[in-house]
Amino acid sequence: MPGVTRLSVRNIRKSFGDHEVLKGISLDAEDGDVISLLGASGSGKSTFLRCINLLETASDGEIFVDGEQIRMVKKNGQNRPESQKQVDHIRSELGMVFQSFNLWSHMTILQNVIEGPVHVLKRPKAECIAEAEALLEKVGIADKRHAYPAHLSGGQQQRAAIARALAMKPKVMLFDEPTSALDPELVGEVLRVMRALAEDGMTMLVVTHEMSFARNVSNRVVFMRQGVVDSSGAPDDMFGSGASPAFRQFIGHFGGEQ
Amino acid sequence: MDIAFLSSAMVTLLKAVPMTLLLFSLSVFFGGLLALVIVTMRVSGNRLLSGFAKGYIFVFRGSPLLIQMFLVFYGLGQFGVIRYSFLWPFLREPVVCAVLSLALCTAGYSAEIFRSGIRAVSPKEIEAARAIGMSGFLLVRRIIAPIAFRHALPAYSTEIVLMMKSTALASLVTVWEVTGVAQRLISQTYRTMEVFLCAALIYLVLNFLILQGMALLEYSLSKHRRAAPPSAVKA
């Protein structure tokens, strides 16, 4: 359903002590949008992503997921979510993929994938297993379903983590540098899965250093710098003549990939 | 070697094994439950609860179990509140006193063992669970506790074996378990060596069985740390 706003973030601020990391960031994602968040390390892009599903609590600002606002209250001067129940619900609608996969080490790949649907969404186990096997097929590791995370390569673990997030049938997928912890030869297999997901119409927010992904797969590029959005736009404009001086300098560091 | 005496001593001691097992299983069970309460308080983040748990652990780890047992057995009856309460019919029983003091003591040690297990759970795995919408008891039940228990298991087996041996102290508050019966037998026969050797053998066998059981449990819970089976390796 293009035109439906899946995620809307208004004026998010976040400080760690005296240090303000996010200085008022806004962003809207419509259904099917694939947005790449670029920026040097320390620009606040990961913190921004983690504020969206409240792994970090923003000091100020509003977040709407599929039209539902996350209710916040001020307590002792600190911004806090009003209801843990709502937070859990919102999180179940946002799929998160971490830099270091964060699979549950004591569970098999299949158990990792069905954990959320069975225990958070409380759906029938048999149904979840069937869906999980289809998802593992889709990310290309169906034969690993009874293996444990430690027995898989990084690329396979990350694909399992993507399947785990997809099993929750999320409205939006958040990727926090999904290929940064991988050996170079394993990056491709993860990017292929992400590209297929984008082509299926999944709404995605991707913090990444993969310029080729930002340029060729996403339909919008947001460049963050020192806690603000420096510039944003369609990849062709951003990587073409429309680039801001700061962005031009930033992508200059990735010269080999242009 | 007096085989006839050894075997009759062994038979006498074996009759006391059920009492030793009763002391052991009740104190491990209740001590384990209490340890869960204490460790929950300890990691709760609430300063009052955590302070209480710290104090509890300090007292029960820091003082001799034998003295704790004497205090429960000889001491509690001096308080009118207890002497005349509905609890007295239970608390005047030596077995109850022994189980109570064993459980209170092991709870302190076990709480610390469980806490070390909890601390070893990767924050990243907890974060992944939060990110799919888990919190509170669900998060503890599905992610934190299973991982923490696996980390704590080797140290916890040691604690359980120590408990088996600590049941011997119950003989000093007049419970007729293996060690108590052994001492009675020695006072009747003056054959210290044979009787205590038989008793030691019984404890060795019991602990061997416990350790085997714990090793089996540990093995079945650690598939994820072993090398992958050949079927999982082939790409």
Burial class (CB in 10 A: 0-12, 13-18, 19+), B46: exposed
Q: Quote the minimal CA–CA distance from B154 to chain A in Å.
A: 16
Q: Which helix (H) or strand (E) holds A29?
A: strand A19-30
Instruction: Tell if the CB–CB gap between B128 and A119 is shorter than 8 Å.
Output: no
Decide: A16 and A78 in contact? Cβ < 8 Å.
no
Which ipTM score applies to this complex? 0.90
**Which one of B132, B219, B233 would you mutate to disrupt binding with A, by most A Cβ within 10 Å of its Cβ?**
B132
Chain A residues near residue B130 by CB distance under 8 angstroms: 55, 91
Any A CB within 8 A of B23 CB? no
CB of B128 within 8 Å of a chain A CB? The answer is yes
List the single residue in A with minimal CA-CA distance to B145.
Answer: A106
Residue B162 in this model has a pLDDT that exceeds 60:
yes
SS3 label, residue A66: coil
| Exposure class string for B191-212: b at 16+ Cβ within 10 A, else e | eeebbbebbeebbeebeeebee
Which residue from B125, B132, B147 is facing A116, i.e. has the nearest CB?
A: B132
Is B219 in CB contact (< 8 Å) with chain A? no
Q: Which pLDDT score, from 0 to 100, does residue A237 have?
A: 87
- On whether the CB atoms of residues B139 and B129 are closer than 8 A, the answer is yes
Q: Alpha-carbon distance B30 to B232, whole Å?
A: 41
**Rounded Cα distance, B30 and B102, in Å:** 9
- Return the H-helix or E-strand segment holding A213: helix A211-216
How many Cβ atoms from other residues are within 10 Å of residue A217's Cβ? Answer: 21
Say if the Cβ atoms of B122 and A164 lie within 8 Å: no
pLDDT at A42: 82
pLDDT at B235: 43
Q: Considering only CB atoms, which chain A residues are within 8 Å of B223?
A: 148
Q: Is the pLDDT score of B15 beyond 90?
A: yes
| B223 pLDDT above the threshold of 70 | yes
Residues of chain A with pLDDT under 50: 256-258
Q: Least CB-CB distance to A115: which of B142, B221, B223?
A: B142
Task: Report whether pLDDT(B231) > 80.
Answer: no
Q: How far is A75 from chain B (nearest CA, A)?
A: 17
What percent of chain B stands above pLDDT 70?
A: 97
For chain B, list the domains and their CATH numbers. 1-16+176-220 (no CATH), 22-166 (1.10.3720.10)
User: H helices within A15-69, ranges in order?
Assistant: 45-52
Q: Do B26 and B215 touch, CB atoms closer than 8 A?
A: no
Query: What's the pLDDT band for B218 if we cut at 50, 70, 90?
Result: very high
Q: Is the pLDDT confidence value at B209 over 90?
A: yes
Contact A119 B138 (CB under 8 A): yes
Q: What is the mean pLDDT of residues B154-172?
A: 95
d(CA A228, CA A214): 19
Q: Is the minimum CB–CB distance between A68 and chain B shorter than 8 Å?
A: no
Q: Is B120 on the interface with A (CB under 8 A)?
A: no
- pLDDT tops 90 at residue B150: yes
Q: Looking at residue A258, what is its pLDDT? A: 42
Whether A84 has its CB under 8 Å from any CB of chain B: the answer is yes
pLDDT for the residue A244: 86
What's the pLDDT score for residue B230?
Answer: 58
> What are the tens digits of pLDDT across the range B33-79?
999 999 999 998 899 999 999 999 999 999 999 999 999 988 887 88
Check if the beta carbon of residue A90 is closer than 8 Å to that of residue A54.
yes
B2 pLDDT band, cuts 50/70/90, is confident
CA dihedral A119, A122, A124, A125 (to 10 degrees): -10
Taking the Cβ of residue A96 and every Cβ of chain B, the question of whether any pair is shorter than 8 Å is answered with yes
CA distances to A182, B67, B181, B235 from B175, rounded to whole Å, are: 62, 16, 9, 61
CB distance A120–B235 less than 8 Å?
no
Question: pTM of the prediction?
Answer: 0.86
In angstroms, what separates the C-alpha of B118 from chain A's closest C-alpha?
14
| Res B225: pLDDT | 80
Residue A86 falls in which region: left (phi positive, over 0), alpha (psi -120 to 50) or beta: alpha
pLDDT beyond 80 at B82: no
Q: Over chain B, what is the mean pLDDT?
A: 91
Whether the per-residue pLDDT at B87 is higher than 90: the answer is no
